[in-house]
Structures are given as structure tokens and as C-alpha cells.
């Protein structure tokens, strides 16, 4: 369904396809965990590969999206290793790369169209709230506030980014960036917990 909508130019379908395939990125990145490379950098590179895959996917070529995405993700990661010696510093998802018109810092994560973590559905499922909320101490006050309002946590009513922007007196685009950064922090903590349990 989302693929048909994507081909019709639906940006929301594009975002959903990216979100639903983020675990594929984490899975592929784990193959390179022994290499002397920051895992955050590899996740960001893998996500870029995933986005390229979604943007260039054509089902009429007879390849499944997951297969095509995996190839694009690995190609992006391998290209990173080839270029690594030529770069003095890798840009992580959260490293500031500029500022918006309101003076707020913009990170690489902010310029990606989709949130970088598939936790939105989990946040809205009551049986997962306790599991996810245990990572909230990792967030700053504004990030907590945005997620509480966005997903209707802590007796709040679920709100759109537009309404949250009005409530906090900030731009909608800034709300979107705060949400993405917060979800990325939860994603990292969530993945680290899973990996720790697997090694126990």
C-alpha cells in the first residue's frame, strides 16, 4: 500500500517506508561493529542509504524493497569505509552543521525528511510505554515536553506538530527537529539495551 502511495508522490508514505525499514539499518550496521568506526556514524550513513533506496525504488524491476534497500545501505556503508582515510572527521547525526533563520542549530539529523527511529508506534501502545519512558532521563526538558505532547503521554492529549509549535511559541520545523533528535536518542538507548541483552 505504502509503495503505491510513494509512487504517487505521497511524502507521508515515503516517511512511513523509511520508518518501517530503520531496523534493517540497525541490523546491517551490526555487521561492522568490530571496525574502528563510530556506530552513530554508521547508523547515519545507513539511513542515508535507506533514504536513497526509497527515493529510487522501482517495483517494476522485480526486486523487493527490502532487498534493494539492503543493497543501497551496504553500498553507502562500504563507500564510507573507502572514503574514511580521506576525511579528517565524520559528521554524526547530532553534530551541528548550521543554523536556521531563527538561530536554532541544525544537525545532519534535522535535514533528513523522516524521523530516524521507529519508536512512534511503540510510544502509542500502552504495553510499551513503561519500556520506552525509562529512557526519558536521556532527554532534555524541551525534548521531553515535545514527546509528551506529540504522543499524548503523562495525561497530555496527543497533538500535531503545528499545535505544539503554538503551545511552545516556536516554529513547526523546530518542533519537528526536536522530535527527531529526541527519538534518535531513544533509538540509540533502545538498541544498546538490546545488544547488551544479547551478549549476556
How much is the pLDDT for 30? 87
Full DSSP string of 91-158: PPTTSEEEE-TTS-EEEHHHHSSS-S-S-HHHHTSHHHHHHHHTTGGGS-HHHHHHHHHHHT-TTPPP
How much is the pLDDT for 167? 94
Same domain, 131 and 194: yes
| Total count of domains within the chain | 2
C-alpha cell at 196: 547488551
CB atoms within 10 A of CB 101: 7
Same domain, 122 and 53: no
Q: Per residue in 116-163, pLDDT tens? A: 444 455 444 444 555 667 888 999 999 999 988 988 877 888 899 999
Please enumerate in sequence order all residues whose Cβ is within 8 A of that of 124, keeping only pairs 6 or more positions apart, or say none. Answer: 151, 152, 158
User: Rounded distance, CA 123 to CA 38, Å?
Assistant: 27
Examine the fold and report which residue of 36, 55, 86 is the final residue of a domain before the chain moves on. 86
Please enumerate in sequence order all residues whose Cβ is within 8 A of that of 139, keeping only pairs 6 or more positions apart, or say none. Answer: 147, 182, 185, 186
Q: Which among 115, 99, 102, 97 has a CA at the least distance from the CA of 169?
A: 102
Query: Looking at the domain assignment, is residue 100 inside a domain?
Result: no
Q: How far is CA 141 from the centre of its chain?
A: 20
Query: Looking at the domain assignment, is residue 121 inside a domain?
Result: yes
Read off the CATH number of the domain in which 190 is found.
1.10.10.10
Same domain, 115 and 193: yes
Domain extent at residue 160? 109-199
Mean pLDDT calculated for residue range 164-193? 86
Same domain, 66 and 131: no
Query: Looking at the domain assignment, is residue 104 inside a domain?
Result: no
**How many Cα atoms within 13 Å fall on the side-chain side of residue 136?**
16
Q: How far is CA 95 from the centre of its chain?
A: 15
Asked whether residue 185 carries a pLDDT value surpassing 90, the answer given is no
Same domain, 73 and 119: no
Query: Looking at the domain assignment, is residue 126 inside a domain?
Result: yes
How much is the pLDDT for 93? 56
Q: Per residue in 102-123, pLDDT tens? A: 676 666 555 554 444 444 554 4
- When pLDDT is cut at 50, 70 and 90, the band that residue 184 belongs to is confident
Q: Per residue in 41-98, pLDDT tens? A: 888 999 999 999 888 888 777 788 889 999 999 999 988 888 765 554 444 556 665 6
Amino acid at each position: 500500500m505504502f509503495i503505491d502511495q510513494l509512487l504517487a508522490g505521497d511524502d507521508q508514505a515515503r516517511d512511513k517506508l523509511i520508518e518501517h525499514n530503520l531496523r534493517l539499518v540497525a541490523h546491517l550496521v551490526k555487521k561492522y561493529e568490530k571496525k574502528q568506526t563510530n556506530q552513530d556514524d554508521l547508523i547515519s550513513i545507513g539511513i542515508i542509504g535507506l533514504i536513497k533506496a526509497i527515493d529510487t525504488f522501482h517495483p517494476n524491476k522485480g526486486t523487493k524493497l527490502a532487498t534493494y534497500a539492503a543493497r543501497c545501505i551496504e553500498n553507502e556503508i562500504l563507500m564510507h569505509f573507502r572514503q574514511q582515510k580521506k576525511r579528517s572527521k565524520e559528521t554524526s547525526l547530532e553534530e551541528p552543521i548550521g543554523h536556521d533563520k531563527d538561530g536554532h542549530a541544525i544537525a545532519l539529523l534535522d535535514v533528513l525528511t523522516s524521523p530516524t527511529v521507529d519508536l512512534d508506534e511503540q510510544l502509542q501502545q500502552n504495553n510499551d510505554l513503561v519500556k520506552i519512558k525509562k529512557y526519558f532521563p536521556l532527554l532534555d526538558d524541551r525534548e521531553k515536553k515535545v514527546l509528551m505532547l506529540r504522543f499524548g503521554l503523562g495525561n497530555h492529549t496527543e497533538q500535531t506538530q503545528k499545535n505544539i509549535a503554538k503551545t511552545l511559541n516556536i516554529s513547526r520545523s523546530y518542533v519537528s527537529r526536536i522530535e527527531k533528535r529526541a527519538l534518535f536518542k531513544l533509538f540509540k538507548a533502545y538498541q544498546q539495551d538490546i545488544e547488551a541483552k544479547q551478549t549476556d
